[in-house]
Amino acid sequence: MPSTTTPTSAPATPDVAVIGGGPAGLMAAEVLAAQGARVAVYDAMPSVGRKFLMAGKGGMNLTHAEPEPAFLGRYGARTGQLAPMLADFGAQALRDWVHGLGIDTFVGSSGRVFPTDMKAAPMLRAWLHRLRESGVQFHMRHRWLGWEDGDGVPHALRFATPHGDTVVRARAVVLALGGASWARLGSDGAWVPRLAQRGVEIAPLRPANCGFDVAWSEDFSTRFAGAPVKPVAIALNDRDGHLNYRQGEFVISRDGIEGSLVYALSAPIRDRIEADGEATIHLDLLPSHSAEQVSAQVEHPRGSRSLSSHLQSRLGITGVKAGLLRECLSRDAMLDPGTLAVSLKALPLRVLRPRPIDEVISSAGGVRFEAMDASLMLRALPGVFCAGEMLDWEAPTGGYLLTACFASGRTAALGAAAYLTRA
Ligand SMILES: Cc1cc2nc3c(=O)[nH]c(=O)nc-3n(C[C@H](O)[C@H](O)[C@H](O)COP(=O)(O)OP(=O)(O)OC[C@H]3O[C@@H](n4cnc5c(N)ncnc54)[C@H](O)[C@@H]3O)c2cc1C
């Protein structure tokens, strides 16, 4: 982990206290310092950017190069709220900013944008160096506990530190505390009751970009846990009757399903489970075959060959795909050519629940946009701004998460800078 300054027992009195040193908070600190504010970053962990570094482990996907309308559409119901922030600091601005840190980027075949070395650590190191040079102070192992009642609320901030509790007074505050996944990296969602007590409206934090539990038989999960299913498509009707259909690949896990295709559809699957108690998705095991082609091949006379050899030779159904058929269809259904053909294109799979929030990539829910003005200042707590994953938006993987964290960090900082001139 990149080193940061050692904890200070007597924190300075900054103009702005940025609480949370993930991408959103660090961007807020940078923008505020550039505006001439005295900025201090407080983080509960011994070093900043731990989730950012974790995101770099599998290849740091910074943003996406797709055209703007499609890009904005990834934020679903929150596109309207995020569009102005992304217009100010979107995918290209983010890439230019990364280049300014001395890190090159490239666009992968899927349109995803990565640093050339795929890593987060060199970028974070260069960024922290630049932040310190611009005068930003870092106070690690400072866990924000809420506000000191009756003393300059909301700007008297209580922290637990290794040297005991302390109170920091600031003229404005940016909260960038993250969501509620991977608590061991710092973002544990403990801020929810602290803000709720102050009258801030918060949508419940929920798993996003997540896998799901399926009640596999012992035999199936023993044989196929870890097996990739590809190519495959998943179809799911959401409650409004809208058909989500997407092709890609996913992985069988011991308890269910995970992987990119499942993450991409995780929001509608999760919403369906929340509404109905469970969801049935349909697997298209032969996405490049038409229903007619599948039917013709299934019904082709198989002579003395077993059904599995028939499916293998005529349609290439083998391994985990054959296992899924046996797992999800009754013996009678398998032996009925009509039902089998339909099932190869739409195999029903009952999905029970999302994986626990702590192990998923991101969380949905958070501070409602209605609780903030356009500069991300809390209506209930003037002078307190929020940014990053703790806001009530969600997006699929593909760099959209980091892009919105950076963009909202910048918006909150510009709001806080303007507030300082008014206060
Ligand atoms: C495995 C994994 C891979 C990912 N890969 C990608 C990817 O490739 N592309 C992408 O776009 N996104 C990716 N993400 C998501 C992305 O990392 C997050 O959306 C992003 O880090 C959120 O930024 P943030 O600044 O809002 O919050 P965080 O990065 O979570 O930072 C919040 C900070 O607040 C601090 N904090 C929390 N509570 C307190 C408190 N009470 N007091 C003081 N400090 C506190 C935490 O210690 C932490 O440092 C990935 C996530 C994971 C888990």
Lowest mean pLDDT among 8-22, 296-310, 315-329, 356-370: 8-22
Asked if residue 321 has pLDDT above 60, the reply is yes
- Nearest CA among 169, 177, 175 for reference residue 14: 169
- Report the C-alpha gap between 127 and 102 in whole angstroms: 10
> What mean pLDDT, rounded, does the chain reach?
94
Tens of pLDDT, residues 181-233: 999 999 999 999 999 999 999 999 999 999 999 999 999 999 999 999 999 99
What is the pLDDT, as a whole number, of residue 5?
Answer: 40
Q: How confident is the model at residue 296 (pLDDT cuts 50, 70, 90)?
A: very high
**3-state DSSP assignment of residue 235:** strand
**What distance in Å separates the CA atoms of residue 234 and residue 248, rounded to the nearest whole number?**
8
Residue 10 has a pLDDT of 42
Residue 279 has pLDDT above 90, yes or no: yes
12 band by pLDDT with thresholds 50, 70 and 90: low
Take atom 2 of ligand 1 and give the residue whose Cα is closest. Answer: 55
Q: Closest ligand 1 atom to the C-alpha of 179?
A: 30
Specify whether the CB–CB gap between 234 and 265 falls below 8 A. yes
* Atom nearest to 24 CA in ligand 1: 25
pLDDT of residue 113: 98
CA 176, CA 16: separation in Å to the nearest integer? 13
Is the pLDDT at 11 greater than 80? The verdict is: no
Each residue's pLDDT tens digit, 66-120: 999 999 999 999 999 999 999 999 999 999 999 999 999 999 999 999 999 999 9
pLDDT at 151: 56
| Distance separating alpha carbons of residues 272 and 350, to the nearest angstrom | 12
Percent of the chain with pLDDT strictly greater than 90: 92
**Residue 254 pLDDT more than 70?**
yes
Has residue 390 got a pLDDT over 70? Answer: yes
pLDDT score at 6:
39
For residue 142, the ligand 1 atom closest to its alpha carbon is: 43
Residue 187 CA, ligand 1 centroid: distance in Å: 6
Residues at CB less than 6 angstroms from ligand 1: 19-25, 42-45, 48, 50-52, 54-55, 60-61, 143-144, 176-178, 181-182, 186-187, 190-191, 361-362, 388-389, 399, 401-402, 405
Helices (H), 134-200: 191-196
pLDDT of 239 reads: 81
Would you place residue 58 in the very low, low, confident or very high pLDDT band (cuts 50, 70, 90)? confident
Q: Whose alpha carbon is nearest atom 5 of ligand 1?
A: 55
How big is the chain by its Cα radius of gyration, in Å? 25
Which atom of ligand 1 is nearest to 21's Cα?
49
Asked if the bond preceding 228 is cis, omega within 30° of 0, the reply is no
* Residue located nearest, by CA, to atom 47 of ligand 1: 186
Q: Look at the block and give the residue holding tokens 């498509």.
A: 233
- Closest ligand 1 atom, CA of 178? 27
- The 3-state DSSP composition of the chain as helix, strand, coil percent (nearest 5) reads 40, 25, 35
- Over 90: is that where the pLDDT of 1 sits? no
pLDDT-derived band at 382 (thresholds 50, 70, 90) equals very high
Amino acid residing at 278:
E
Best of 402, 410, 411 for a ligand 1 pocket test (most atoms within 8 Å of beta carbon): 402
Q: Which atom of ligand 1 is nearest to the CA of 387?
A: 26
- What SS3 class is residue 226? coil
Which residue's alpha carbon is nearest to atom 20 within ligand 1?
402
Centre of ligand 1 from the C-alpha of residue 423, in Å: 30
Q: Does the domain formed by 16-207+360-422 have CATH 3.50.50.60?
A: yes
What spacing in Å lies between the alpha carbon of 111 and ligand 1's midpoint? 23
CA of 115 to the centre of ligand 1 (A): 18
Q: Whose CA is nearest to atom 50 of ligand 1?
A: 55
Report the distance separating Cα 119 and Cα 134, nearest Å: 24
Ligand 1 centre and the CA of 277: distance in Å? 29
117 C-alpha vs ligand 1 centroid, how far in Å? 21
Q: Is the pLDDT of residue 141 over 60?
A: yes
Q: Which residues of 17-26 are buried (b: 16+ CB within 10 A; e: fewer)?
A: bbbbbbbbbb
Could you tell me the distance, in angstroms and rounded to a whole number, from the CA of residue 282 to the centre of ligand 1? 33
Q: How far apart are CA 81 and CA 79, in angstroms?
A: 6
User: What pTM, to 2 d.p., does this model score?
Assistant: 0.93
Which residue minimizes the CA distance to atom 27 of ligand 1? Answer: 178
Helices and strands, counts by H and E, the chain = 16, 20
Segments making up each domain of the chain, as ranges: 16-207+360-422, 212-354
Establish how many alpha carbons lie within 13 A of residue 422's alpha carbon, considering only the half-sphere containing its beta carbon.
9
